[in-house]
Amino acid sequence: MLAKQNALFPFLYHEFFMTKQFSIPRGTADIFPSEAGAWQEIEAKARRILADYNYQEIRTPIFEETGLFRRSLGQTSEVVAKQLLELSSSGKEGFSLRPEGTAPVVRAYVENSIDRQESLTKLFYIGPMFRGERPQKGRLRQFHQIGAEVIGPNTGNPYLDAEVIALNVNILKAFGLQGFRLKINTLGSCEDKENFSNGLRQKLAAQRSRLCEDCQKRLEYNVFRILDCKNKECRAVIEHLHADYEHLSQESRDYYGRVKEALNALEIAFDEVPYLVRGLDYYTHTVFEISDTSLGIQDALSAGGRYNNLVSELGGPQADAIGFALGMERVLLAMSSEPKPAASALTAYVIALDENVFPKAFHILNMLRGAGIPSDIDYKISSLKSQMRSAHKAGSRYAVILGEEENKRGVVALKDMATGNQREVGLTELREILKKGKV
Ligand code: HAM
């Protein structure tokens, strides 16, 4: 037919098909050489930290049987119900581009009986994911994740939850991100989760008429999805829900308590958000999300949680598991809105650890300036952490730290801001080192 048309209208055929300019599919992006460096840098940093935590790389196909996602993420999750990009197939079995990495990793774990080879498996992946979303800033149809999963029978240990969250936070910090917020919650065991959903249904059913049409339906088939609804009236209803943890068994409560203790021990700051439930069905117990307001509406940089039943639901042994995935495009967006150090960066940023040593720190500052070394000081004597943040913002190459101990011994701690290396030096040595610009 086409050949016949071609013969009849050679000119038109040429116009339409030979000169057509193709465009990139909506919701995808080309990464040009000018941007590729930033991608490589965050990949390299993440790989280094993941190796420090003993994670090994896994690469799975970018498409899988559609059933894998339906079973793992849940038929009624937004990702499955609305966003799966299915590949048309003439065979019986349908395939879909992977919308996330957890289900494929678990499929590989089960299919290869990895539980028989090792008691705890720590895997990471880096690669493209696909969701048929309505594209907007930070929301793409092809996006990239760096994800990590820990799987093993009898490994439900609150310290592991804290380790995975700390790993996620430390990777973001290594990217230079600072302004993010970690939110955590627990869904409890499968039974607790069922109670949670029933309780929530009861509370929301009492206000059914205030909910949007979609949420009225969600009341029947997946009440948790109502918590993510962006409709103004629904949000007002959700914000006024009284949060309690009555659905949790004592065991789940204790587990959650120990996760929080372990996070405190690791000095990881977090906010508890009792209605954080996450949009994928496989989660149990700890769930978390890391958001950054600089991203606007799509503010989640990263997210994850426990999924202690997924391995057995996919035909494997009873195994506990937890993981997270961060969105690389969102990380790069957040990095681009993070304040950059001025081009004319300082050489030294003097930090006084308390009021008593401030006069000496001030003296050191002026000695350095006198020697022609661009220097500044934090006049607000706050914690070391917050003064280090100021040093970072000022773009200083070095921090010169003075505490009571150093003051007594006539030395300072000299920290290289780029490498984190720190050593003690006397004042004359300090001046000479900074003049040369070398540690
Ligand atoms: P998720 O919350 O669906 O979780 O996605 C994780 C991260 O991927 C998000 O926080 C976001 O940064 C990024 N992301 C998701 N969708 C898009 C999109 N359309 N465009 C750009 N970035 C996006 C998961 O995928 C789970 N598999 C995480 C996990 C691992 N849970 C346990 N292990």
Q: To the nearest 10°, the Cα dihedral for 159, 176, 125, 292?
A: 80
Q: Could you tell which of 28, 280, 283 is best to mutate to test the pocket of ligand 1, judged by most ligand atoms within 8 Å of the CB?
A: 280
Strand ranges for 31-94 from DSSP E: 56-57, 63-65, 86-87
Please report the DSSP string for 354-382 in residue order.
Answer: SGGGHHHHHHHHHHHHHTT--EEE-SS--
Sheet holding 411-416, edge to edge: 375-377, 348-352, 398-402, 411-416, 422-426
Ligand 1 centre to CA of 77 (Å) is: 13
Minimum CA distance residue for ligand 1 atom 2:
303
**pLDDT at res. 90:** 64
CB-neighbour burial class of residue 381 (10 A; exposed 0-12, middle 13-18, buried 19+): middle
Distance CA 396, CA 56 (A): 35
Minimum CA distance residue for ligand 1 atom 31:
304
102 ligand 1 Cβ < 6 A:
yes
Which residues partner with 184 through β-bridges? 272, 288
**pLDDT at res. 260:** 98
Tokens standing for residue 179: 């302004």
303 ligand 1 Cβ < 6 A:
yes
Q: To the nearest 10°, the Cα dihedral for 211, 272, 249, 311?
A: 90
Minimum CA distance residue for ligand 1 atom 17:
139
Ligand 1 centre to CA of 272 (Å) is: 20
Closest alpha carbon to 295 in 157, 139, 164? 139
**pLDDT at res. 6:** 53
Distance CA 33, CA 126 (A): 19
**pLDDT at res. 308:** 97
Closest alpha carbon to 76 in 288, 205, 226? 226
CA distances from 205 to 198, 209, 219, 224, 235 (A): 10, 8, 7, 13, 15
331 CA closest ligand 1 atom index? 12
Q: Is 301 in contact with 214 (CB distance < 8 Å)?
A: no
Ligand 1 centre to CA of 300 (Å) is: 8
CA 246 from chain center: how many Å?
Answer: 29
Q: Could you tell which of 83, 131, 145, 320 is best to mutate to test the pocket of ligand 1, judged by most ligand atoms within 8 Å of the CB?
A: 145
Domains for the chain: give ranges and CATH numbers.
Answer: 33-189+249-334 (3.30.930.10), 348-436 (3.40.50.800)
325 ligand 1 Cβ < 6 A:
yes
Q: Dmax over Cα atoms in the chain, in whole Å?
A: 96
- pLDDT in single tens digits along all 439 residues of the chain: 444 455 555 555 655 566 789 999 999 999 999 999 999 999 999 999 999 999 999 999 999 999 999 999 999 999 999 999 999 766 666 999 999 999 999 999 999 999 999 999 999 999 999 999 999 999 999 999 999 999 999 999 999 999 999 999 999 999 999 999 999 999 999 999 999 999 999 999 999 999 999 999 999 988 999 998 889 999 999 988 888 888 999 999 999 999 999 999 999 999 999 999 998 999 999 999 999 998 988 899 999 999 999 999 999 999 999 999 999 999 999 998 876 554 556 899 999 999 999 999 999 999 999 999 999 998 888 999 999 999 988 889 999 999 999 999 999 999 999 888 899 999 999 999 998 864 4
**pTM of the shown model:** 0.77
**pLDDT at res. 418:** 86
Q: Could you tell which of 330, 331, 333, 335 is best to mutate to test the pocket of ligand 1, judged by most ligand atoms within 8 Å of the CB?
A: 330
SS3 319: coil
